Chain A
Amino acid sequence: MEQHTSYSDVLHEDTHGGGTKEVIKVTIILSVLTIIEVVLGFWMIGMEENGFGKHLTKGIIIILMLAKAFYIVGYFMHLKHELRNLIMTIVVPCGLFIWFIIAFLFDGNSFKTLRNTYNPVYKQRTTEKAPATEENKEEKKDEKKPAQE
């Protein structure tokens, strides 16, 4: 009953979406989220390194980042208005990231713990304050190299 020729089927149902109003709404949401992120970034400057407050702020920033990603993919890239079939083929494979992130970050953390436990030289080198003279030497090296090239 329907004609199944190339684009005509696709084109008509593809135009669903909120139109310009939706674009303006999403733009405002993205801008506000970015502003909140930047404000939190400024707020974090004075915080104690590795303190609870800093970790909490970082967590909030990551949640805001994911919200921004949702709005860009869902509305700007129009994925929210596509068919469920298509959404699933895109979103489900991205679930691999959950494993990917957890596994690798745990691995990094475990590597740090092992090195700090069994390699005292490494621990001392990476936690000791850099001597002023060595820092100057390093800077000179870096300044010379581009000049010679």
Chain B
Amino acid sequence: MATTTATATAAPKYWSGGRSPFNVEYGKLMMWYFLMSDAFTFGAFLIAYGTTRFAANGWPNPNEVFKSYPGGTNAPLVFVSIMTFILIVSSVTMVLAVQAGHEMKKKGVVINLILTIIGGLAFLGCQAWEWTHLHAEGAWWGHNPFLNSNGSIGHQDFTNFFFTITGFHGFHVFSGVVINIIMLIMTLMGVFEKRGHYLMIEKAGLYWHFVDLVWVFVFTCFYLI
């Protein structure tokens, strides 16, 4: 119903003053713009990675490099697929938390936020293991022990890009977990109930989904392609 009226009278209704032409709250709009700028930061990183890769004669094969998981060493893609699913599931629980917030159900918000935080921590744990493992193999900024797929000496920037980009993403996950913990505390204290709306959860949710979105790109660019 609202959409039909919006399309019929969109121009006079939203741009004639008196109300927000975007029909969202200020903070949420700014979160969108922040995420857009963040998307360009990640985009710049990934495009720099792509440019370097296009300029290189050889590049390490991700299936050779990322084939370890806790307790084994010959299963390419398995561990990172698990990490991807953890992030998708935590994104789903975040959506459910936002929905519970719409319906003003405090209990639903709390439960789903806790699940989201657990998912975020699990992802960070996986990443910490992966970094430790790669570091033990001799990979770090400035050190690339892996040979290129054509057998030549490994490209230096392979590890540089890997640790920089997954590190930057991991930092986003970490801050997302911190934000979610703050949201959880505020929900438990009843701040949003007093305010009459759970819009803060929505903004935290946008940020969390963005972290998931970035992982979709990082996962594809580093592990699959």
Contacts and interface: CB of A to CB of B under 8 A. Distances in A.
Contacts of B143: 142, 145
Contact of B224 (A10, A41, A49): A41
A123 B84 CA distance: 37
B210 A77 contact: yes
A61 B50 contact: no
Contact of A10 (B23, B58, B148, B206): B23
Interface string A62-79: 100100110011001100
Contacts of B43: 97, 100
Interface of A: 2, 4, 7, 9-11, 13-16, 19-20, 23, 27, 30-31, 34, 37-38, 40-42, 44-45, 49, 58, 61-62, 65, 68-69, 72-73, 76-77, 82-86, 89-90, 93-94, 96-97, 100-101, 104-105, 107-109, 111-112, 115-116, 123, 125-130, 134-135, 138-139, 142-143, 145-146
B36 A94 contact: yes
Interface in B199-213: 199, 205-206, 209-210, 212-213
B32 to A, nearest CB: 6
Nearest to A31: B88
Contacts, number: 185
A134 B152 CA distance: 11
Nearest to A83: B23
A42 B85 contact: no
B195 to A, nearest CB: 9
B14 interface: yes
Nearest to A100: B47
Contacts of B29: 86
18 contacts: A7-B196, A10-B24, A16-B2, A16-B3, A34-B85, A49-B150, A72-B213, A77-B213, A83-B24, A86-B23, A90-B32, A105-B51, A108-B52, A108-B53, A112-B54, A128-B152, A130-B153, A139-B138
Contacts of B56: 112, 126
Contact of B25 (A2, A7, A139): A7
B39 interface: yes
B225 A58 contact: yes
A108 B102 CA distance: 48
